[in-house]
Chain A
Amino acid sequence: MAFGGGGFSMERGNTLLDDYVLSLTRKERPRVCFLPTASGDADHYIVRFYRAFDAARCEPSHISLFRREQSAGDMHEQLLGSDLIYVGGGSVISLLGTWRAHGLDTTLRRAWERGVVLCGLSAGSLCWFAEAVTAFHGPAEAIEGIGLLPWSNCVHYDAEPERCRTYRDLLAGGMVEGYAVEDGAALHFEGERLTRVVSSRPGARAYRMRWTGDRLSRRPLPADYLGVAPAVVRAA
């Protein structure tokens, strides 16, 4: 599940996307492991995760790569034994550098092959793709993710115009085709195939993005709003 932006990190009081990823595990009390690497393992972020994923509905844990003393046991086993791995936002470049240094990229691929549900927002979405657009320091630029999904990805598509322009230019310059995702929308893949687009906000959208040789093809993808549709819409 690749969120454009949303979940407990960005949508206070709106649990729709987080509830949805929990349901994908098909477990009554799934083991959920949070990876806050992209934030530098920020304490406040870890606390917010435990508040959102409380022990009543799942078995939450996290892995800190900056404060190893906080994490007991073998982190690779911990990841492989999870039902859901949830990757937080921040800098995707810092995220990938740190993961590679600890060999987590390999472990996450193994987890994926075993059927562990992988999800994340922002940097935690970009990381799963072959290529992605980041706009962390200075101008937006292309990065290579861990490549479980052989597409490109651009998050916060509605919120950051600079990214939209850069994504278009990168696609024109040969970046592999992919998906632009707005805040509140999320892509649900099974294997490499997109099976559903869901949203935590009515109207939040995702787009299939492709360069056709002379122009950009931007196809809106129908998104299923996960909440109860507003009454006015139903009446209409």
Chain B
Amino acid sequence: MGGGGFASPPGDPSLDRYVLDVARVPHPRICLLPTAGGDAEDQIRRFYAAYRHLPCEPTHLSLFRLGAEPVEVASVLLGQDVLYVGGGSMLNLLAVWRAHGVDAILREAWERGIVLCGISAGSMCWFEAGVTTSFGAPRPVPGLGLLPGSNSVHYHGEPARRPCFHEAIRTEAVPPGWGVDDGAGLLFAGRELAEVASARRDAGAYWVEERAGAAVETALGARELPRREELEPPTPLSIAEWRETRMRRR
């Protein structure tokens, strides 16, 4: 997903539901990996606020915060139906995963058929390369390479990324790939693109390749998901938090 979703208010509820539908089980276990944001509490809270009311079993795995109980990272991750990688720094995400051996576990999860998804840095990490702003100015950086090609997120939302992505493809610094807007997502089955889904007007995905020394961009057709204004109004975060606190007290 190119951006948006539960982490950025007002969010894209249909994208949140979309990833659950892809799991094709009645009550999927979904685990947030908030690594790219340094396990930021805000991202974790918004994740629970979005998923608590959906038919699923949400949890999260922190690689920074000391939990009260030791965590078996591999068994937690491999016991899920959906792994959802949050946004942040792609460079740090991959470095921390590698330091903990999580990259190998994710490959195994993928081979077992667990749905892997993510937003922003959590999208680009699956490809051969992405365009990261981890260093400040956008710069191409290698990903895990489970998916072929390259990926740039926030495609029209952050104007500095698109020229950087085009230039990287034009000069063959990265393989051809997909630019994805906030509110849109690419669904892959294995390594094949199955569909483009969009939860916002004008949010889409673009295939970018090098042709005769130029970067050529082609807009892809997208399946329209219900827009946020078509769904019931989302629960304000403050109320959701209050409910969560109340539930914990019980």
Q: Known interface pairs A40-B37, A100-B95, A137-B71. Does A91 touch B64 (Cβ–Cβ under 8 Å)?
A: yes
Question: Is there an interface contact between A40 and B65, defined as CB atoms closer than 8 Å?
Answer: yes
Asked whether, in the complex, the Cβ of B64 is within 8 Å of the Cβ of A39, the reply is: yes
B91 touches A97 (CB 8 A): no
State in angstroms the CA–CA spacing of A139 and B94 once bound together.
Answer: 23
B160 at the A interface (CB under 8 A)? no
Contact of A93 among B37, B88, B99 (CB under 8 A): B99
- Contact residue among B39, B64, B70, B91 (Cβ-Cβ distance under 8 Å from A138): B70
Find chain A residues with CB under 8 A from B71 CB.
Answer: 137-138
Please indicate the chain B residues that have their CB under 8 angstroms from the CB of A41 in the complex: 38
Across the interface, which residues of A come within 8 angstroms of B36, CB to CB?
A: 66
A94 within 8 A of B: yes
**Across the two chains, which residue of chain A brings its CB closest to B94?**
A101
Decide yes or no whether B92 CB sits under 8 A from chain A.
yes
Which of B22-30, B128-136, B219-227, B229-237 contacts its partner? B128-136
Distance in angstroms between the alpha carbons of A68 and B37 in the assembled complex: 11
A135, closest chain B residue (CB): B70
Other than the known A40-B40, A137-B70, A137-B73, what 15 A-B pairs have Cβ atoms closer than 8 Å? A40-B38, A40-B64, A42-B65, A43-B40, A66-B38, A66-B88, A66-B92, A68-B134, A91-B64, A91-B66, A93-B63, A98-B92, A98-B96, A101-B91, A138-B71
Name the CB-closest residue of B to A92. Answer: B99
**Contact in complex: A98, B95 (CB < 8 Å):** yes
The reply to whether the CB of A50 lies closer than 8 angstroms to some CB of chain B is: no
Q: Which residues of B contact A100 (CB under 8 A)?
A: 95, 99
| Binary per-residue interface labels of chain A (34-48) against chain B in the complex, 1 for a CB within 8 Å, 0 otherwise | 000011111100000
Please give me the residue from chain B that is nearest to A38 by CB atom.
B64
* Bound: A98/B63 CA distance, A: 12
Q: B100: CB under 8 A from chain A?
A: yes
CB neighbours (8 Å) of B135 from chain A are: 68
A71 to B41: give the CA distance in the assembly, Å.
20
A97 touches B98 (CB 8 A): yes
Chain A residues with Cβ under 8 A from B88's Cβ? 66
State whether the Cβ of A65 lies closer than 8 Å to any Cβ in chain B. Answer: yes
| Docked-complex contact B100 and A97, CB < 8 angstroms | yes
Chain A nearest CB from B124 CB (Å) reads 15
Number of interface residues of B (CB under 8 A): 29
Q: Given the complex, which residues of B lie within 8 Å of A110, measured CB to CB?
A: none
Write 21 A-B pairs (CB below 8 A) sorted by A numbering.
A39-B38, A40-B37, A40-B38, A42-B40, A42-B64, A66-B36, A66-B88, A67-B38, A68-B134, A90-B65, A90-B66, A94-B99, A96-B99, A97-B95, A97-B98, A100-B99, A101-B94, A101-B95, A136-B66, A137-B70, A137-B71
Report if A102 contacts B (CB, 8 A).
yes
Whether A94 contacts B73 by the Cβ 8 Å rule is no
- Chain A 77-93 interface mask (CB, 8 Å, partner B; 1/0): 00000000000001101
* Residue B89, interface by CB 8 Å: yes
Considering the complex, give the chain A residue whose CB is closest to the CB of B71: A137
Q: Are B91 and A94 in contact (CB under 8 A)?
A: no
In the complex, the 6 A-B pairs of residues with the closest C-beta atoms, listed nearest first: A40-B38, A97-B99, A101-B95, A40-B64, A66-B38, A97-B95
Query: A94 CA to B63 CA in the complex, in Å?
Result: 7
Contact A66–B70 (Cβ < 8 Å): no
B68-104 vs A: 1/0 string, CB under 8 Å? 0011110000000000000011011011111110000
A102 to B97, CA, bound (A): 15
B92 to A, closest residue via Cβ = A98
- Closest chain A residue, CB of each to CB of B91: A101
Given contacts A38-B64, A91-B64, A101-B94, contact A68 B133 (CB under 8 A): yes
